[in-house]
Structure 1
């Protein structure tokens, strides 16, 4: 099946292309070719397809042949080189239509982009709001695994960035470049399974993902897309034979079990989640670049096994390490943004700040609930400001005092946002938090605290303490170390009086 009806003749100027004019993958009829694999006696690779039929996911996907620079979407992808100056048909069209301001932004603000990383610029004169630039890997059979990892990271990082920036529609060009010797079919497998896994994990994050292809790539995607996004139970069934043996991990990432770091190699080692958890933040102080990281230097043995047809045995420890590295990479991307973006609109609110130290010399972070207008602020920037403020503090022990005084519904964050924040923050935030005081709690805070610490954060449950008044904090911190708004002390005196019983606060 071809998409000739949607091709555009070369050299013909096109108007802005709106998504409403493009067919969704769910609207393209499934293939009518009937293949009875069971009659051939060939054994399927999978008893059940790992990519089941989903009408909701198929409605999000668009396969289109055309000029990506004409699409009116939130973001388009530009596959380029490290100096952001690659000359290829897609990049040339993007730069031509975006105008000179794009080059000025790249040369003055971005400068370079390493392999596997991404950079975001404005769309300028393009219909798209943003351009996400990325550098795909060079391919060498000797270092095949490093190339596969890097290509996966390119696609995954773009999708995560769309989430972080609240972008609903993104158009991908083919990132794996033939100029860099990357086999087109192998690259398409990684692209499709990475997008599929992301949409499964975050079904509400994106409205549409467009694969904007040139004519020489469409044939590959027409064949492979039904394997990862089957449009019927029949396509789902035959995919059990047609899918490759290697379909990646939970995120679509390549699995290289032979390169895993063995953490538990001491026969006397015992597992104590609270006491023995390894904090990787000290070892991962910069983003992991697969092309340069030590992981990519250990390629030969595994790739030789692949050529010989050997299949490594799965090891759950590798999944843990991969997830930890990906989690750290995401946090470091957010930290870089937090240090570079203008966050004055959040810092000016004054709801989050450091206020002295407690009696053990630990920094005290103050959060004023009434000054947090949850429904009116940019939550992405709120998260960035939280990271900007706390990152240097959480390297050691610290405590938080949350004042729920005179808050209302407009100040209450949603459970989904709290969950996202908790999941983004690395382990050092939870480990080094020694106490979380809630002052002037209400029924809402008690219910929220119970739910959150029971289902989301049981590790910090014993660190959370509800206090009916400000003076209950004085056993843990001196009054001159506690800077709080006047309305809090006025309210406190109105309900508790000038002096009242001060029990020893928990630590």
Structure 2
């Protein structure tokens, strides 16, 4: 009730039934034709968890009307998208929301940003930008959509939120197939609740009537409500269920590209971001190079907006790890000018004679403006004159090789078992 006694339009999530409370009968009937004799000793990778199911709510309704800690708004990069979800949120939040969004200066695809809820019942709004879907770029779209859900949940965790109301982030105008997107949404939420969900008490999926049918169909796969439903759902899980965090897994991601988040910011002696590429982790013969190119752009997009340097470990690479010059030329031609302008140095660690010759030909005859940025580093002590050792996560085999070839260096950092 509002102060004047009129019924409130907002919906308290504590009044909504949890996923545990929905009848299982219809779901079980839909799977019985596929599994006639369930084997209850065969466990799903998403096992029955009553405690997690109690946190899940499927609700057909307008996310803007939910009374919870935060609701999710799906928008575009400038946070001005006019879709049904956004327009409803703007309508109920009031004019102050638009003023607040201008201060955010946009939001990249896959990111999540926070504002107040203003006139909403929800205290906060988490804004995110889903990917535009094209079948050719499916890998990049999967990664971005996963990032949307993961970053929303991470923001909720960091702000100690007790409840989050999700709209369906993959808006119709962005073209993401609903069923494919729902798999990513559900498994990402499930994995997050398993690992990081201590403080989150409720996660609401606010859906339309069309979306409700898909969510009801797929929820038992990731949130089975009994051991029997878990067993019946197991054959219906897709082949790709992601990694331990729910993130899509493809061979292209075996290419290790990492931005070191060490103290203070993962930077070299000039304050520039350090990016590490491990050559031995590039499975050239196994991956789709077109997808690898898209993955590189996806990972590097937020890094290349400012000055950065690359540390490339050529250590113990084989013929199966070498990127050919045609691919490198295409990469150089395709990336935005900011990648080239802001790249200040490439430290080529443990080069061989052959790799030096190949690099010289490539930077002399194939691309321009790159030759002067290449610095050959024969041993790690040379590298440390430009980048402090604590700023890089060293694969153990790199340290072992350098110690064997050049002698031990007392200030090597301890390295995780990568």
TM-score bracket for this pair, using the shorter chain length: 0.5 to 0.7
Structure 2: how far apart are the matches of 1:29 and 1:39?
20
1:270-315 Cα offsets, whole Å, 9 max, x none, are: xxxxxxx99793499499xxxxxxxxxx9955879xxxxxxxxxxx
**Deviation (angstroms), 1:196:** 0.2
Counterpart of 2:54 in structure 1 is 59
Structure 1: how far apart are the matches of 2:162 and 2:134?
35
The aligned length equals 281
Preserved CA contact (<8 Å) 1:172 1:212: yes
Pick closer, same or farther for the CA change 1:171–1:143 going to 2, 3 Å: same
Counterpart of 1:258 in structure 2 is 252
Aligned pairs (5 A) from 1:397-436: none
Structure 2: how far apart are the matches of 1:95 and 1:38?
47
Counterpart of 1:231 in structure 2 is 225
**Deviation (angstroms), 1:53:** 0.4
| 2:12 matches 1:15 | no
| 2:118 matches 1:124 | yes
Pick closer, same or farther for the CA change 1:162–1:35 going to 2, 3 Å: same
1:18-53 Cα offsets, whole Å, 9 max, x none, are: 11210000111113416153459xx99x95311000
Pick closer, same or farther for the CA change 1:150–1:278 going to 2, 3 Å: closer
**Deviation (angstroms), 1:57:** 0.3
CA-based RMSD of the aligned residues comes to 3.8
Structure 2: how far apart are the matches of 1:299 and 1:69?
43
Preserved CA contact (<8 Å) 1:76 1:128: yes
Preserved CA contact (<8 Å) 1:143 1:300: no
Preserved CA contact (<8 Å) 1:146 1:299: no
> What SS does the aligned partner of 2:224 have?
coil
| 2:31 matches 1:37 | no
Counterpart of 2:200 in structure 1 is 206
Structure 2: how far apart are the matches of 1:47 and 1:257?
28
TM-score (norm 2): 0.60
More contact order relative to length (CA 8 Å, sep ≥ 6): 2
Pick closer, same or farther for the CA change 1:125–1:185 going to 2, 3 Å: same
**Deviation (angstroms), 1:68:** 1.1
1:126-147 Cα offsets, whole Å, 9 max, x none, are: 0000000011001111110000
Counterpart of 1:184 in structure 2 is 178
1:311-359 Cα offsets, whole Å, 9 max, x none, are: xxxxxxxxxx9xxx8xx99xxxxxxxxxxxxxxxxxxxxxxxxxxxxxx
Task: Give structure 2 stretches of 5+ with no counterpart.
Answer: 1-6, 276-285, 304-386, 394-413
> What SS does the aligned partner of 2:32 have?
coil
Pick closer, same or farther for the CA change 1:255–1:209 going to 2, 3 Å: same
Aligned residue among 254, 262, 281 for 2:266: 281
Aligned residue among 194, 197, 207 for 2:191: 197
Structure 1: how far apart are the matches of 2:198 and 2:126?
21
Task: Give structure 1 stretches of 5+ with no counterpart.
Answer: 1-12, 264-276, 288-297, 305-320, 330-394, 399-425, 429-458, 461-507
Counterpart of 2:146 in structure 1 is 152
Structure 2: how far apart are the matches of 1:160 and 1:146?
20
Is the radius of gyration larger for structure 1 or structure 2? 1
Preserved CA contact (<8 Å) 1:144 1:299: no
